[in-house]
Amino acid sequence: MTEKLQAPRGTYDVLPEDFAARTALEAKAREVLGAAGYERIETPALEQTEVFARGVGASTDIVQKEMYTFDEGSESLTLRPEGTAPVCRAYVEHGMHKLAQPVKLWYLGAYFRRERPQAGRYRQFWQVGVEALGSDEPAVDAEVVVLLVTLLGEMGVEATLRLSSLGTPATRAAYRDELQAYLRANSDRLSAEVRERIDLNPLRAFDADHPGTREVMAGAPKLLDRLDASDREHFDEVRRLLDVAGVRYVVDPTLVRGLDYYTRTVFEVTSEQLGAQSGVGGGGRYDGLVEELGGPPTPGMGWAAGIERILLAGGRAPGAAAPVDLYVALGMGETEFALAHEARRAGLRAQLDLGGRSMKGALKQANRLGARYVAWVDGAGVQLRDMESGEQREVPRDEVVRNVLRGPGL
Ligand code: HAM
């Protein structure tokens, strides 16, 4: 006996009944982001592995253990685990630094991470995201954050915004030394995992659930207290603009993101409507990434949010499926086929009964679909039935579509 075939672990089928909600989210994203001048971009699902190794950072969990990577001839390719590095790669490849800056882009697509699947965490998941490239103005940071808050609000997601600043790489390097020294001095109280990562990624210690580690981290030095004057000023201005926009946020100096490219502003949005995987979206500024990927020095700022998590947290009832204008019953012959085709060309939503149903079955199905009219061939003419009034009469074959277009009634 052959084994039952299933979608791979951590992946799922998007079924027809799921699409109303997803389409509504996509339309809302287009509306909110489009209104602010963001244009859509879509990069390939595959990239050269180097894009993420250099972009996301070799020491991150994503690059170390979550990428789907394979060799294609002499080249190493990876299913994209995130969208920022690919967008920056595209910005460089297409010379977008020559366009008016900042270049404002948004995207929606599938991403892949080999994570342990659980509620709200998948191996293939979907993100909607924005990237604004070419300006380091605090107004860009604030605008980008406001766009996420607006989109989530429109989708009915109640969320908390946490905000921090990581400063420049130099500030971070000095802080990293300071934090490493602090962690080493307290290493006997840390979890084994955190202890092992003191050299590689000491910042992740802030993320730990381990009680001893949490205690140590409560007294740890905070990067936010070490920012230089210009980074401090930048952060204060971002905050001031968010206040102007009436956006509420919590400054969280322990905020760490799972990607290495961030500089200055970082933020995350969480929702209590979700379980353990409470992160709905997150992002920040990445002023060194474009250069890291071989482009000219170009600041950038963006976010991405999980589609599954927005839909889980939002709980917006999906809209009803669009109703059918004309249902052509009792046969799949030339006349019926041509009638449905003609109706669609005239802009109607028309369905041909492809199930070979009896009259009774066809009327039932037409009702289920919310069809306004049902037509069937009857001798030389066509019977046309108004499903709302129950009225029925014979009309000439070539007047059916005109009758339906004219509706209601016959
Ligand atoms: P991220 O925080 O890794 O950031 O992912 C953003 C969002 O994607 C998360 O908040 C979560 O909603 C969703 N997500 C991530 N992993 C999974 C998963 N395994 N299953 C379901 N949902 C998931 C980034 O990806 C950055 N590229 C964001 C960014 C854009 N930063 C600057 N620009």
User: Nearest-CA neighbor of 161 among 34, 267, 261, 254?
Assistant: 267
Distance 94 CA to ligand 1 centre (A): 25
Q: Is the pLDDT of residue 410 over 80?
A: no
Tally of domains within the chain: 2
Question: Hey, whose CA ends up nearest to atom 8 of ligand 1?
Answer: 306
Is ligand 1 within 6 A of the CB of residue 131? yes
Residues 284 and 394 in one domain: no
Residues 167, 288 contacting (CB under 8 angstroms): no
Q: Output the CA torsion sign for 286, 289, 290, 296.
A: positive
Q: Is the pLDDT of residue 318 over 60?
A: no
Residues 113, 67 contacting (CB under 8 angstroms): yes
Q: What is the pLDDT of residues 225-256, one digit of tens each?
A: 999 999 999 999 999 999 999 999 999 998 98
Query: Is residue 72 one of the residues assigned to a domain?
Result: yes
| Residue 408 confidence (pLDDT) | 67
Q: Is the pLDDT of residue 133 over 60?
A: yes
| Residue 315 confidence (pLDDT) | 65
| Residue 257 confidence (pLDDT) | 87
Residues 243 and 308 in one domain: yes
Query: Is residue 9 one of the residues assigned to a domain?
Result: no
pTM: 0.89
Provide, rounded to the nearest whole percent, the portion of the chain with pLDDT above 90.
86
Residues 161 and 287 in one domain: yes
Query: Is residue 6 one of the residues assigned to a domain?
Result: no
Q: What is the pLDDT of residues 258-281, one digit of tens each?
A: 899 999 999 999 999 888 888 999
Angle between helices 19-35 and 307-314 (to 10 degrees): 110
Query: Is residue 211 one of the residues assigned to a domain?
Result: no
Task: Say if strands 250-251 and 124-133 run parallel, antiparallel, or are unpaired.
Answer: unpaired
| Residue 332 confidence (pLDDT) | 87
The predicted model gives 210-235 an average pLDDT of 95
Query: Is residue 118 one of the residues assigned to a domain?
Result: yes
Residues 253 and 381 in one domain: no
Q: What is the pLDDT of residues 351-397, one digit of tens each?
A: 999 999 999 999 999 999 999 999 999 999 999 999 999 999 999 99
Containing structural domain, residue 402: 326-406
CB atoms within 10 A of CB 152: 24
Tell me, what DSSP letter sits at residue 118? B
Is ligand 1 within 6 A of the CB of residue 90? no
| Residue 5 confidence (pLDDT) | 96
Residues 400, 375 contacting (CB under 8 angstroms): yes
Distance 302 CA to ligand 1 centre (A): 11
Supply 263's token pair. 């500089």
Q: Is the pLDDT of residue 2 over 80?
A: no
Is ligand 1 within 6 A of the CB of residue 252? no
Apex 261 CA angle, 257 and 265, nearest 5: 65
Residues 311, 25 contacting (CB under 8 angstroms): yes
Residues 120 and 235 in one domain: yes
| Residue 409 confidence (pLDDT) | 60
Q: Is the pLDDT of residue 324 over 90?
A: yes
Mutate-to-test residue for ligand 1 from 82, 152, 155, highest number of ligand atoms within 8 A of CB: 82
Distance 303 CA to ligand 1 centre (A): 8
- The CATH number assigned to the domain holding 132 equals 3.30.930.10
Residue 59's pLDDT band (cuts 50, 70, 90) = confident
